Amino acid sequence: MTMENPSFVVNSTPADSAAQAFSSLRLPTHLTLERLVAVVESIRNRPITIDVADGLNGGSVCGLWLSTDSKEIILHAATPSALHRQQFVLHELSHMVLRHDEVGIPKDYASVLFPNVPEAMVMRVLMRSSFADRLEAAAETLADLFAAAIRDSTLEPRSFERVFG
């Protein structure tokens, strides 16, 4: 699957970036979390692994996305709420769709802070915190759009349970 227009305007508002990304995906009519994960796997050209991470506190850090050459990894805070888990995962999927791993930081910044860690890995992680406000707002807005689309689907409860058990 490819997106209709994969380049999102850097100078647009977070809401505009999210809306453009959402409409570019051409999502199925009956969207489920499982189907959305499959769509994003297709866009990213690698599988997505989703798992709980006890180290995430669910307060300031609810989810984490790690991108490798062979797979995407979403870790989320433990919570008894299925809706919170869904939102954590949708937020990280939104970062993938919005291609936030392609937003650059100065290379010398990465090598000075972490000289013993591969530059590409440092840049993937640090760029998210360097542009936190705009990127996080865009990801949360897109996650809300995904949640609304899933909520409107009558198939979601069965699918959600297959992903999270």
Count the domains in the chain. Answer: 1
Average pLDDT, the chain: 79
Looking at the domain assignment, is residue 81 inside a domain? Answer: yes
pLDDT in tens, 79-119: 899 998 999 999 999 999 999 877 655 555 556 555 676 76
What does the buried/exposed string (b/e) look like for 70-89 if buried means 16 or more CB atoms within 10 Å of the residue's CB? Answer: eebbbbbbeeeeeeebbbbb
Looking at the domain assignment, is residue 100 inside a domain? Answer: yes
pTM tops 0.95, yes or no: no
Looking at the domain assignment, is residue 89 inside a domain? Answer: yes
pLDDT in tens, 51-67: 998 877 766 778 889 88
Looking at the domain assignment, is residue 3 inside a domain? Answer: no
Question: Kind of pairing, strands 48-52 and 63-67?
Answer: unpaired
More confident residue, 26 or 120: 26
Residue 76: give the domain boundaries.
Answer: 15-152
Looking at the domain assignment, is residue 4 inside a domain? Answer: no
| CATH for 93 | 1.10.10
- For position 143, what pLDDT does the model report? 95
